[in-house]
Every structure is written in structure tokens, then in C-alpha cells.
A and B are shown apart, each in its own frame.
Chain A
Amino acid sequence: MNVGFIGLGLMGRPMALHLEQAGHTLHLWARRPESLAPFAAVNAKTHASPAAVAAHAEVVITLVADAPDVDAVCLGENGLAAGAKPGLIVVDMSTINPNAARNIGEKLAALGIAFVDAPVSGGEIGAINATLTIMVGGTPAAFETVKPLLEKMGKSVTLIGESGAGQVAKACNQILTGVGTLAVAEALNFAAKSGVDPAKVREALLGGFAYSKILENHGQRMLDRNFKPGFKAWMHQKDLRIVMEEAHRLGLMLPSAAATAQVFNAMVGSGLGEQDSISALMLLEKMSTPEA
């Protein structure tokens, strides 16, 4: 199949390469030409604009930073809509506001283009190992068409519901991972400041009801003091903003997510934004240590 791919960053690069290895022809466009370098030796054609990518593809995948970027790539000047052949399906794997996804989906539908929101969880490692969790919103027909592609990038591919539903599931994911990461950081810091070995505490808790993947994986990285991203704190901060915007719009009370979002604000404000989101631990340590 001719597959367009726009957004060749940390996640996008390995994801696109999985599709190429599965025998698909890639059609690429990138804001920065150097992003295209890893594709010089594979079956990939580069184009001058998203419109040109759309003109050559049956499915185009986008994976960019935020809603305005998705909007610009889809509906902006020389965007996908400007070059789309009839029946094009756009699969947006970015994490954006569910309501924004619905709006973009409606605008594209009016132009005869199907839009599927398919945000992912699993980080860079999940992208490299093709073990991502992919949460999909869109029509069943569009889902069936793109499902074989998504299965080359992820281990778990689930149609959640209509347009926007994938982003709602991702927002739920970010509530759990954001609050969970902070909870693990708080627990390990609590143990350490109480004079107890946090590694032993983690080991003990893994056998009980507090077991979680976050305690297992992120907890270990906290103990190893390996704060390299992974998933950058500023991105988690952005995702929690999306959650809190929707909570405001819908009149929902999310006290834990709200408090967690404030800790992520503090991380970005104190220069930890480019570190992994587990560096919440460093912030807690700093907050609970006397000034030197």
C-alpha cells in the first residue's frame, strides 16, 4: 500500500520503518529535511508538501506535537486536504484535545476524507519494538482498512468508538500514568527520607495490590536515577493540560489530576522539562531538602 507519514521524530521514525519493512511504500514530507535522512536507503519517496504526499497515498499517518499542528498539516495551505485523492484516510497518531480531533474529523469528512484518531501509549521503546498500545476513534469501515497498518506498529489495537474516542482513551491513559508516576515518586521519596531502602520497598510492593507497570518500570528507573527520556516531562505536562481543559469544558472534578498537573508545571518551570517525566522524583527531593 502507498502510505504517507508525516512526523518523523523520536516515535515516528521507528514506526514508519516498521511499515516499510512490512512491504509498504512510504511517502514522506518533513518540516526539517534532516528528518528524512534515515529513509534514504529504504523504499520511501520524499515530497515537497503534505498535499503532494496525499496525492500519492491511500492512507496518511500524522504524528506531530499538538492540535494546531494537526490542523495545519491536514487543512492548512498545501495541506493533505489540498492534494487528497477520493477515499483518503488520515490517521492522526498525535495526542491532542478530543474535541479538536472531532472538529478536524468533521472538516475532513465534509471534504470526503476519513479521519481516524489513533494516539499511542508505550513511549519510544514501544515504538522501536512495535509493542505500542493504540487507541482508535473513527468509523468501523475506516478502522478495518487501517488496522493491518496499525498492527505493524502496535501490539494492542482497539477501536474505542467514534471520532475523538481514541483521544478520550489517551486522556484517561495520561491521567493514570501522570498520577501514577507521581505516586511512585512520592512513595520512593517517602521511603528514602524515612531511612528505608526504597529498592526493598519497591520489591516488596511489586508482590501486592500496589503492583503496577509504573512501579515496576518507572520505579526501577527512579532507583537507577536514569532520567533520560523516554517520555519528556514537558510532553506529559501538555497532555495533562488537555485533560484539564476537557475537565473544565465538561464540568468534571479531577482533584488528583489537577494536583499532578501542578507538579508538572513546577518541573517545566524549574528546568526539568527535557528530562523524562520520572524526574518528578528529583523535584520532590529538592522540595523536601533544606536549602544549601
Chain B
Amino acid sequence: MHIGFIGFGTMGKPMATHLLRAGHTLHVWSRRVSSVDFLLQQGAIWCASPAEVARASEIVCTNVTGSSDVEELAEQLATGFVRGGIHVDFSTIAPSVARSIAAMYAPHGIEFVDAPVSGGGAGARDATLAIMWGGKTALTPRLAPLFSVLGKTVVQVGDVGAGQVAKACNQMVMVAAIQACAEAAQLAQAAGVSFAIVQQALLGGSAASRVLEVFGGRMANRNFSAGVEARLHHKDYALLMESAHRLGVPLPVSSVVWQQLNALMAQGMGREDTSSLLRVLENKFNQGE
């Protein structure tokens, strides 16, 4: 299949590589050509613009940062797509923006699928991502060959925007768990107990979780390099708290976690791993500042 790909960050790079290795013809564009050299060397085809990517592809994948990035790209892709083209966006954006992009495409016969992922850089590299997508059910056969190469768990959550709702839920559950790990680590350390050993003990019990394993592990090893850059989680919290406001839904725990992320940003750790939430607690309460 002819597949377009735009957005080559921590996640995009390995995802594009998987598609190429699975035998698809990959059409790529990037603001800086140097960021796709590694793909061109493996046979990917360079395009001069997003519109040209859309013209050459049945499906175009995008993996960028924010709602406005996706909106801008969609406007350019729309000028290149032929009818029946599909834009699959792996970014984490507001559900309402996903719906408005779909509405913008609809008169041109272009489909939009929101397909945010969970699993981080490691999940992208190992092709074990959880992919939660929203879009028309009829698209399933055309999307399956793409998703099966990238992820292990692929779930259609509902219509357009539903994938982003699921991703918001994912972020709430995950980052709240990271904060809980940080607090547990802080308590253990303050009581003179090694958190690395506590973590090993807990992984065998009812508190076992993927977050305790991965993020708890980073806290135990004091390895705070990203991982997932905390600024991205911080960005996601603005989206989900805005939804909570609009829908009149109280999220008491999430609101507190959000404030810890605000403090993390203020302390200059936005480009480090979200396990740095531990250092937010330590900075203020351990060093007698």
C-alpha cells in the first residue's frame, strides 16, 4: 500500500520504520529533510509538501504535537488527497478538534481517523502500542494492515473523536498512578526504606501495575531521562481538564495531579520523564528550601 507519513519524533521514527519494513511504499515530508534521511536510505520517497504526500498515498499518517499542528497539516493535506483518502492521526489532541477536522474533510470525500496511542517510545519500537481509534467502522479492513504492524492492542472506541476521549482517560489513569508511585517512593525514602526494594515487593501484590513497574523503576534507579517528556502529559492535562469543565464533570484527583505537573514545569523539568514528579516532592520537602 502507498502510505504517507509526517511527524518523526520519538514515536514517529520507529512507527514509520515498521511500515516500511512491512513492505509498504512510504511517502514522507518533513520541515527538515535531515530528520528523514534514515528513512530515505531505506527506500522511502521524499515529497516536497504535505499536499504531495497526500497525492501519492491512500492513507496518510501524522504524528505531531498539538491540536493546531494537526489542523494546519489537515488543511494542506486536503488540497492533495483524492476522494476516498484516509488521514490517520496518531497525535493526542482535543476530541472536539478531531471532530472538526473530520467535518472539514467530509465534503471532499476524505476520511479522518483519530488514533492516539499508548505505550511510549518502547511500545513504538517493539510495535506493542495500544491503539485506540475513532472513525467509521467501514474503514476497518483498510486500517487493519496498518495498525497490525504498529500495535498489539487495537480497539475501535467509536466514531471520530472517540479515540481521543479514550486517550484522555488513559492519561488520567496513568499520570495519577505515576503521582501515586512518586508519593510512595517519597514516603519510603523518608522512612529510611529503599524504594527499589519496596517496588520489587509491591510488584508481586495487588498494587502491581505497568506504571509501578516502568515509572516506579525509573524512580528507583533515579533515571529521569525521557521516556515520555513530562511537558506532553502537562499539555494533555490542559485538554482533559477543559473537557471536564465543558461537560460539568468533577475530576478531583486529576485536578491535584495537574497542579503537581504545573509545579514540575515551573521547576524546569518539562523535557524530562514524568517520573520527575518524584523530584517535585523532593525539591520542596526534602532539601529544607
CB <8 Å contact, A251 and B255: no
Q: Which parts of A234-268 form the interface with B (CB within 8 Å)? A: 237, 241, 244-245, 247-248, 250-255, 258-259, 261-263, 265-268
Determine the chain A residues whose CB is within 8 A of the CB of B249 once the complex forms.
Answer: 265-266, 269
Cβ of A79 under 8 Å from chain B: no
* Known contacts A244-B241, A248-B238; A255 and B259 CB within 8 A of each other: yes
A264, chain B: closest CB distance, angstroms: 8
Main secondary structure of the interface of A (DSSP, over half): helix
For B257, the closest partner residue in chain A by CB is A258
Q: A166 — which chain B residues lie within 8 A by C-beta?
A: none
Q: Which residues B190-243 have CB closer than 8 A to chain A?
A: 234, 237-238, 241-242
The answer on a CB contact under 8 Å between A248 and B255 is: no
A253–B265 CA distance with the chains assembled, in angstroms: 10
Contact indicator B255/A268 (Cβ below 8 Å) = no
B248 within 8 A of A: yes
For residue B251, which residue of chain A has the nearest CB?
A262
Q: A253-B260, A263-B250 are in contact. Are A258 and B266 (CB under 8 A)?
A: no
Among A247, A253, A266, the one with the most B-chain Cβ atoms within 10 Å of its Cβ is: A253
A12 close to B (CB within 8 Å): no
Complex CA–CA separation, A261 to B237 (angstroms) = 14
How many residues belonging to B are interface residues under a CB distance threshold of 8 Å?
A: 22
**What residues of chain A lie closer than 8 Å to B245, measured between beta carbons?**
237, 241, 261, 265
Asked whether any CB of chain B lies closer than 8 Å to the CB of A270, the reply is yes
Residues of B within 8 A of A255 (CB): 256, 259
Q: Tell me if B29 counts as interface (CB < 8 A to partner A).
A: no
Contacts of B262 in A (CB 8 A): 247-248, 251-254
A148 to chain B, nearest CB (A): 38
Q: Is the interface of B mostly helix, strand, loop or mixed?
A: helix
Contact-residue size bin, chain A (C-beta under 8 Å from the other chain): 20 to 34
B266 is contacted by which of A245, A253, A270, A273 (Cβ under 8 Å)?
A: A253
A266 near B248 with CB under 8 A, answer yes
In the complex, A259→B255 CA distance in Å?
6
B263 at the interface (CB under 8 A from A): yes
Indicate if the CB atoms of A248 and B258 lie closer than 8 Å: yes
Given the interface contacts A237-B245, A248-B238, A258-B258, does A253 sit within 8 Å of B263 by beta carbon? yes
Q: How far is the CA of A266 from the CA of B252 in the complex (A)?
A: 10
A223 to B260: give the CA distance in the assembly, Å.
36
In the complex, whether B247 has a CB less than 8 A from a CB of chain A is yes
B interface with A by C-beta (< 8 Å): 234, 237-238, 241-242, 244-245, 247-252, 255-256, 258-260, 262-263, 265-266
Closest 10 pairs (CB-CB, A-B): A269-B248, A251-B266, A266-B250, A268-B248, A251-B265, A258-B255, A262-B250, A253-B263, A253-B259, A265-B250
Known: A251-B265, A262-B252. 14 other contacts (CB 8 A): A248-B234, A248-B238, A248-B258, A252-B266, A253-B259, A253-B263, A254-B262, A258-B256, A259-B255, A262-B250, A265-B249, A265-B250, A267-B248, A269-B248
Interface residues of A, Cβ cutoff 8 Å to B:
237, 241, 244-245, 247-248, 250-255, 258-259, 261-263, 265-270, 273
30 contacts between A and B (CB under 8 A): A237-B245, A241-B245, A245-B238, A247-B259, A248-B238, A248-B241, A248-B258, A248-B262, A250-B266, A251-B262, A251-B265, A253-B259, A253-B260, A253-B262, A253-B266, A258-B255, A258-B259, A259-B252, A259-B255, A261-B255, A262-B244, A262-B251, A263-B250, A265-B245, A265-B249, A265-B251, A266-B248, A266-B250, A269-B248, A270-B248
